[in-house]
Structure 1
Amino acid sequence: MTINKNKPLLLATLMALATCTLSACGGGESTTKTNTNTKQDQKETEVNTTPEKMTTEQGYEKLTINLVEGVIVPLYDQLYASNVTLSSETEAFCSKTSRTQNDIERLQATWKKTSYAWQQARTLKLGPIADTFHYSRIQFWPLSSQKLASDVETLLNENHDFSQGLSDLKHQLQGLPAYEYVLFNSDVTLLGAQDIVKRCEYLQAITANIEGLLSQDIASWKGEYGAAFKSGSGSFSSKEAALEKLLTIWFEYLEIIKDNKVNEPMSMQAPGKAELLENAYSQTSLINIKANVEALELLYTGGDGFGFDDYLKQVNQREDLDTQIRLHFKAIYEALQATKFKPAEQLLVNDQGRAQLNAIGSAITNLRSVMDSDFVQVTGLNPGFNTNDGD
């Protein structure tokens, strides 16, 4: 009796199991469809991350705006702030009744920071700073270290009233190189100078002079000149013309690095001509090149904003060329790093050092080659390749 009573229950259980098995098969098919949909969603997401193709004019507009607002003005602002700090620390140093070597070294470190900011900004020999000769008043170069020393010492032996400014002096007496000579010169040290008060007045006049020049240049970039560059108006016939002018300066500065900063001091053979090195007294010539290349790369990439690298990718669909250009920048940094940033005058006198300097020049030439061939051909931008005749 018990067995007979449980038969219906057993049959019901078996039927339920069979139904579950069939449902499981159906569930497996449903899971497969879900996975397929997920993969499709991923593909669509990947497609959506591809840079949207942009027209040439759209690219020009984004480039001109970001280069002014995201690169050029910030570089000038950084330099201005650095010079203000140098001015403040110069005043503090000069106001002391007794000074130590530590005080000198602190001031030297501040000058180096200001000089580094200038070396980045000086790649922008464009617009107000060039048209008004402010560029050469902040740094007149190339100029031999002996000529600089002679001119500064002659000035200090005269009865010049530095409180009246420096605008009536030779350009090489108005800017950072003159300050460098007074601060770093080991033949007539600032601490040991009998005329330290006069030298301090001169240093303070230099920073005040630079501040006045930069104030005008920055105001112009933030105002009328910057607006003209962004809109392709004023002295520019179009946005394209504005970009081509900037690229012309960019290319010329590569030549300045290779010719004036590397080849001329190397001369034809050892020991070279150390007196032609840039910033020979502070021995920062190789650091200067690093700062220059960083700024040139910043102009290419646009920093955090839209740059020529983005233009290649979104207008020309040539990410491969951007990769190639970035590798050339990397090669320059590696060549610089190989020198361990020793004083360049030490590298001029032996074969190993000269080979390292040659490697820097070659890396710069390689970057220039790909830029003035592939980059120009692909973008259609045609900067003027004027023969460089120095600063």
Structure 2
Amino acid sequence: MQPVIRAFCASALAIVASASVVAAPMDGPQSARAGWHPAIQSAYDLLAEETNQLAEQASTYCAEPGANDRERLEQQWRDAFMAWQQVRFVDFGPVENNNLAWQFQFWPDPKNLVARKAGYLTTSDQPITADLIEQSGVAVQGFPMLEYLLFDKPFSTGKHALPATHSCALLTTVTRHLASNSKQLSADWHHFKTPYLNTEAYQASTIKSAMAALEILEERRLAKPMGLRGNGKRNPYLTDAWRSGTSLLSVEATLRGLQQHFLPDFLELLKQKGELQLAERIQRQFDAALDNFPEADRPMTALLSDDNAFRTLQGLYVDVSQLTTLVNDQAAVALGVVRGFNSSDGD
């Protein structure tokens, strides 16, 4: 994000917070935000750490490629991608600046724009620079582009496959861009603390972001590829990490991120409203959804192509669907939160 834009956003938030918002009492909504802020901060810090290690591993691999270095690079991509999945549910605040969420993960990609952009950049004589990546759009700048370079089978058997010089230049430049964005996002969330704690509306924003994440998880990341929506045909290519076979690992990471960074203070809010039984049901349903793993920690293609294996996926879908109903309907009503338009549109 450009410094001028960042400064303007921070200034605007500070003005809104001081001019129109009265701080909530610490035993009320602000106490939830006081828990959510450091929890989300820890997730952003982890993302910054993992993407920095990814950039370093990419540079190491491209400087002196080796089989072990390639394996370590692929694993580091997975580690960084899962760190993003854990905090992907936050769709407000600093992550809104400069379409950062889309820079981390351009998805859905119905026109296969990532592959088209990669094809152009890896075959072009144009030097791969930070400015070029900055100007090439969100389809180039994040995890899906790196996933393509590392895991796409046709690309990996072609003449431009890693560690080809131009492809390595693209790999290292994108990883540095990703690491820079992660570091800045972590810093911006830290500076966002005062307006976040002192602006009561951010309680609803945080809850809505979790609600949107569950809705996307149920409808777009599970139901659509399972053939439960649309034309009724199973299609693993509708998932968000099919090239690397980590679509369901990322589902698990999202659920664990919500459980760790959102759920504790959310349940406390429900208990403050006298909704103890509902809080306990939501806790149990989170546990039930996560109990599907590690059985479901397999490529989506394998689970969609075999009817016996598909039952595992069906069990996960049912558990996520029930969890979504408990949070998005019953808990939201109890807390007076109205689900609105989701500007992230699936990301």
Q: Same fold (TM over 0.5)?
A: yes
Give the deviation of 1:335 after TM superposition: 2.9
Partner letter of residue 268 of structure 2? Answer: D
Which structure 2 residues correspond to residues 71-110 of structure 1 after superposition, within 5 A?
A: 71-96=39-64, 99-110=65-76
**Alpha-carbon distance, 1:101 to partner:** 2.4
Q: Is the 8 A contact 1:94 1:200 kept in 2?
A: yes
Maintained 8 Å contact 1:144/1:275: no
Partner of 1:384: 339
Which whole-Å CA distance do the structure 2 matches of 1:131 and 1:361 have between them? Answer: 32
How far is the alpha carbon of 1:183 from its aligned partner?
Answer: 1.1
Question: What's the CA shift for 1:209?
Answer: 1.0
Aligned in 2, Cα 1:140/1:299: closer, same or farther, shift over 3 Å? same
1:92 Cα shift? 1.0
8 Å contact from structure 1 (residues 79, 117) kept in 2:
yes
Contact kept? 1:126, 1:249, Cα under 8 Å: yes
Alpha-carbon shift at residue 276 of structure 1 (Å)? 1.6
Q: Where does residue 316 of structure 1 map in the other structure? A: 273
Aligned equivalents of 1:191, 1:85: Cα separation in 2: 27
Deviation of 1:271 after TM superposition, in Å, equals 6.3
Per the TM alignment, residue 105 of structure 1 is displaced from its structure 2 partner at its CA by 1.0
Q: Is the 8 A contact 2:289 2:316 kept in 1?
A: yes
Q: Structure 1 residue 298 and structure 2 residue 266: aligned?
A: no
How big is each residue's C-alpha offset from its partner over 1:337-377, in whole Å with a ceiling of 9 and x where there is no partner?
A: 443x1211111123233333232222112112222343234
- Whether the 8 Å contact between 1:145 and 1:276 is mirrored in structure 2 is no
What is the deviation of 1:191? 9.9
RMSD over aligned Cα atoms = 2.4
1:59 and 2:28 are equivalent in the alignment:
yes
Asked if 1:133 is matched to 2:99, the reply is: yes
Does the 8 Å contact 2:247/2:300 carry over to 1?
Answer: yes
| Secondary structure of 2:156's aligned partner | coil
Task: List per-residue Cα deviations over 1:215-268 (Å, max 9, x = no partner).
Answer: 332222111x32111111xxxxxx2x2111111111111111112111222225
- 1:145-294 equivalences in 2 (<5 Å): 146-165=112-131, 166-189=133-156, 193=160, 196-223=164-191, 225-232=192-199, 239=200, 241-267=201-227, 272-294=234-256
CA contact (8 A) 2:210 2:258 kept: yes
Name 2:20's counterpart in structure 1. Answer: none
Distance 1:113 1:216 in 2: 19
Change (3 A) 1:365 1:215: same
- Please state how far the C-alpha of 1:79 moved relative to its aligned partner: 0.2
CA contact (8 A) 2:123 2:160 kept: no
Q: Give the drift of 1:78.
A: 0.3
Structure 1 gap segments, 5+ residues each:
1-54, 233-238
Match of 1:365 among 318, 321, 324: 321
Moved more, 360-369 or 86-95: 360-369
Deviation at residue 147 of structure 1 after TM alignment: 4.2
**Secondary structure at the residue paired with 1:173?**
coil
Instruction: Output the CA distance in 2 between the equivalents of 1:145 and 1:355.
Output: 30
Q: Deviations over 1:110-132 (max 9, x none)?
A: 11100110111211111121242
Q: Closer, same or farther in 2 for the Cα pair 1:144/1:356, shift >3 Å?
A: farther
Contact 2:130-2:177 within 8 A present in 1 as well = no
- Quickly say closer, same or farther: Cα 1:100–1:270, change in 2 above 3 A: farther
Q: What residue identity is the alignment partner of 2:141?
A: Q
CA distance in 2 between partners of 1:104 and 1:190 (Å): 15
Contact 1:83–1:211 at 8 Å: present in 2 too? yes
Instruction: Give the 3-state SS of the residue equivalent to 2:134 in structure 1.
Output: coil
Q: Is the 8 A contact 1:142 1:390 kept in 2?
A: yes
Query: 1:92-118 deviations in whole A, cap 9, x for unaligned?
Result: 11111xx33222111111111001101
- Partners of 1:100 and 1:191 within 8 A in 2: no
SS of structure 2 residue aligned to 1:58: coil
Identity %: 21
AA in 2 matched with 1:197? T
**How many residues are matched?**
319
